[in-house]
Structure 1
Amino acid sequence: MPPVQPAGLPLPADGSLPAAALAQLGSRPFGLYVHVPFCTVRCGYCDFNTYTADELGDAPGASRATYAEAVITEIRHARRVLGERDLPIETIFFGGGTPTLIRPADLGAIVASAAAEFGLAPDIEITTEANPDSVAAWDLEALRSAGFNRMSFGMQSAVDHVLRVLDRTHDPLRVPAAVQWARDAGFDEVSLDLIYGTPGESLADWETSVEAALACEPDHISAYSLIVEDGTALARRVRRGELPMPDEDDLADKYELVDERLTAAGLEWYEVSNWARRPQSRCRHNLGYWTGGDWWGAGPGAHSHVGGVRWWNVKHPAAYADRLAAGTSPAQAHEQLTEQDQRVERILLEIRLRDGLPVLALDRDARAQVARLTEEGLVTLATERLVLTRRGRLLADAVVRDLT
């Protein structure tokens, strides 16, 4: 069952935004997120807004064949809502789901629509996620020809029994082949996603996965601890006692291992769960999220943010397509972030970055905590910015509580 959206307040039927929010457009990076909700199989740990073909059928806008048309309609709607101001898109990120279950030509058509409506920055980053078994060499060549320049493969693990617990269907041996195909197609940046802490995964299993990822020589690696989300198949298995909950000490050991190995291999952490080989290998789209940028989220259940206003679309692909076909906004609801909301979110996100959080972003009470956090080895203070130590990264949530 996909996650429940926040309640929020309704937006006007035409999706119009407050003038104060629109006035801020162009002062921050602007990106486009495209949510593709299709999956061949839903993984047991996933709580994203995803559907299999059997669940959706062939309803217009809900099928793979007609999905791109619905998204393009929303991009045109976005142009009307945001007005005619010069607003070239700096990053585009296709997430899901499995975006590469859509034909490369359709993904390319969505990019072309964004270019026609908004224009693209000269150095635009265009990323798509992909499962290793959802692409072939010719797909990657077609995507590169359509303007995509960054691939993010969902590797998760290199160990068969770990992949089975996660309900991942790809062969681990497919990962290095997919990376090589991306290189051969001319992709500038290739990223691999890993998950640690799966029930039954030993430290040796995790080490095997990290070394297998490094052997592919990616430009970027993300490593996230497994979270057992309510409503997922994994949560039900844990509740029935079939699988244990992830152990916090085990997660810490695995984080330290991946940080040590990636650092030794020349990848530098730039966010708690992300490492890049070069500054240009960092995911600029995600950096936009983490530093308070503006973005439009297209697709069912996608979230957007402009000038302190956040809104989210209806979740079901058929309802999403129906609204667009009727000429109304697909937004379900919105919220206006207060100054306090924005301050807390800034602390929550920027403290996770290697570039750190400006001390001036803290109120007086929070600044009083800095000396203690430094003495406890959780942060360092450099050029008036707080930066987490490795120990601080392990305890980032506690640091945030102290600073908010």
Structure 2
Amino acid sequence: MPSALPVADPAPADGSLPASALDGLGSRPFGMYVHVPFCAVRCGYCDFNTYTPGELGTSASPQSWLEGLRRELDLAASVLGVAPLVDSVFVGGGTPSMLGADGLGAVLDAVRSSFGLAPDAEVTTESNPESTSPEFFAGIRDAGYTRVSLGMQSAAPHVLAVLDRKHTSGRPVAAAREAFAAGFEHVNLDLIYGTPGERPSDLSASLDAVLSAGVDHVSAYALIVEDGTALARRVKRGELPAPDDDVLATYYEMVDAALSAAGLHWYEVSNWALAGAECRHNIGYWQGGDWWGAGPGAHSHVGGVRWWNVKHPAKYAAELVAGRSPAAGRETLSAEDRRVERVLLELRLATGLPSDALDPAGLSAAGDCAADGLLDPAQLAEGRCVLTPRGRLLADAVVHRLLP
């Protein structure tokens, strides 16, 4: 979860939700996000809610975090009443693979105990390639995980060095192959493009490596220099140049061309997959679904109510031991808030946004965007706003035009 939290209302100590939020619960897909806040080291570009052992000292541990997680999941089931079966689980971080196969198995057992899993549930864990092994993948596959997401970022050692990534350049591909050998059908590799010093040949080599691994899903993100990170401080001091927008656009086109040629279609601006391998959990986010975010700093959304937990693992565990919700704040979205978020999120999908989600000014702007080559005119004529390849490069600008 990103480090910055919204400013909103206090959350009730018992975690209770308004009746309006619970209306229809279970008729919509329900996801579970679990945030693991531990990392061996902090990457220079990362502003997520993570902590190294040196930062935590004795104030928190994986054991106290896991006990807090069990308490929060029990609280969640109580708050929701008849807890819906979980359609998707996503264990993120941080570095979930630091928990080991047994620890990740305990996480999934906690979800099963409090909620239960749908028979065809998608169960994903993020993993750092350096903290995995054939035994690790076999263990989490036996525990019930169905999908693995590996942080690769780049195949170029000098790019990894700028990002402060500690894995060796060949390890992510080897880890992906180990996951397949353990019986996983669905494996994702993450890429970051536009790192200072990355050359087109470096990105091409990274794409070749990804495709050689045979994965069925790739997430590729332009580097963002987040305030407060070590990378931001280096850019501010002039040690590194800021990412160049024109270079980022060129690199995005390179990514799209290579992955599309290999049969991985884009289904969200930054995500490509073979047919049927799309990440169902993330689609739930983009389509405004329900999910409970458990763990320090995790965000949740149920029926138009959004809340987020306290960030520090020690505070998180202490609140739950005291019998209180770990939520730090929450907000109830108005109908207009939800419409705006729908435009922001669904427009990113290849399926697009129904044009009836736009107000009259937005509909007029959509026509202008189609004339400018940003939206597909044929799709717009059929009532959907679908980004063109050029529109994907300017997705944020298109959103601003559709929400005048």
User: TM > 0.5 between the two?
Assistant: yes
Instruction: Give yes or no for the alignment of 1:39 onto 2:39.
Output: yes
What amino acid maps onto 2:188 in structure 1? S
- The normalised TM-score by structure 2 is 0.97
Name which of 287, 308, 315 aligns with 1:312: 308
Aligned-pair RMSD on alpha carbons? 1.1
Moved over 6 A (4+): none
> Which residue pairs with 1:108 in the alignment?
105
| Structure-to-structure mapping, 1:162-241, within 5 angstroms | 162-241=159-238
Name which of 128, 133, 136 aligns with 1:136: 133
Name which of 72, 77, 82 aligns with 2:70: 72
> Which residue pairs with 1:98 in the alignment?
95
What amino acid maps onto 2:244 in structure 1? D
What amino acid maps onto 1:49 in structure 2? N
> Which residue pairs with 2:396 in the alignment?
397
- The normalised TM-score by structure 1 is 0.97
Give the secondary structure class of the aligned counterpart of 2:386.
Answer: strand
Instruction: Give yes or no for the alignment of 1:146 onto 2:143.
Output: yes
What amino acid maps onto 1:77 in structure 2? L
Give the secondary structure class of the aligned counterpart of 1:388.
Answer: coil
Name which of 257, 271, 276 aligns with 1:274: 271
* Cα shift at 1:24: 3.1
Instruction: Give yes or no for the alignment of 1:7 onto 2:7.
Output: yes
* Aligned residues of 2:35 and 2:92 also touching (Cα < 8 A): yes
Give the secondary structure class of the aligned counterpart of 2:341.
Answer: helix
* Aligned residues of 2:64 and 2:317 also touching (Cα < 8 A): no
Give the secondary structure class of the aligned counterpart of 1:261.
Answer: helix
Give me the whole-angstrom Cα distance separating, in 1, the residues matched to 2:277 and 2:182: 18
- Between Structure 1 and Structure 2, how many residues are aligned? 399
The farther-off stretch of 364-373 and 287-296 is: 364-373
Give me the whole-angstrom Cα distance separating, in 2, the residues matched to 1:142 and 1:265: 31
Aligned pair in 2 of structure 1 residues 4, 374: CA closer, same or farther (>3 Å)?
A: closer
Give me the whole-angstrom Cα distance separating, in 1, the residues matched to 2:104 and 2:64: 12
* Cα shift at 1:173: 1.3
> Which residue pairs with 2:25 in the alignment?
25
Give me the whole-angstrom Cα distance separating, in 2, the residues matched to 1:104 and 1:71: 17
What amino acid maps onto 2:386 in structure 1? V
> Which residue pairs with 1:350 in the alignment?
346
* Aligned residues of 1:31 and 1:92 also touching (Cα < 8 A): yes
The farther-off stretch of 379-388 and 152-161 is: 379-388
Give me the whole-angstrom Cα distance separating, in 2, the residues matched to 1:8 and 1:162: 38
Give the secondary structure class of the aligned counterpart of 1:369.
Answer: helix
The one-character-per-residue Cα deviations of 1:264-291 (angstroms, maximum 9, x if unpaired) are 011000000000012x210000000000
* Cα shift at 1:54: 1.1
* Cα shift at 1:165: 0.2
* Cα shift at 1:8: 1.2
The farther-off stretch of 49-58 and 245-254 is: 49-58
* Cα shift at 1:122: 1.0
Give me the whole-angstrom Cα distance separating, in 1, the residues matched to 2:9 and 2:366: 37
Give me the whole-angstrom Cα distance separating, in 2, the residues matched to 1:4 and 1:261: 34
Instruction: Give yes or no for the alignment of 1:246 onto 2:266.
Output: no
The farther-off stretch of 199-208 and 150-159 is: 199-208
Name which of 265, 271, 293 aligns with 2:289: 293
Instruction: Specify every segment of 5 or more residues in structure 1 that has no aligned partner in the other structure, as ranges.
Output: none
* Aligned residues of 1:68 and 1:107 also touching (Cα < 8 A): no
* Aligned residues of 1:75 and 1:114 also touching (Cα < 8 A): yes
* Cα shift at 1:27: 3.0
The one-character-per-residue Cα deviations of 1:324-354 (angstroms, maximum 9, x if unpaired) are 1111100000011111111111001101100
Name which of 362, 365, 372 aligns with 1:369: 365
> Which residue pairs with 2:384 in the alignment?
385
* Aligned residues of 1:300 and 1:313 also touching (Cα < 8 A): yes
* Cα shift at 1:187: 0.8
> Which residue pairs with 1:53 in the alignment?
53
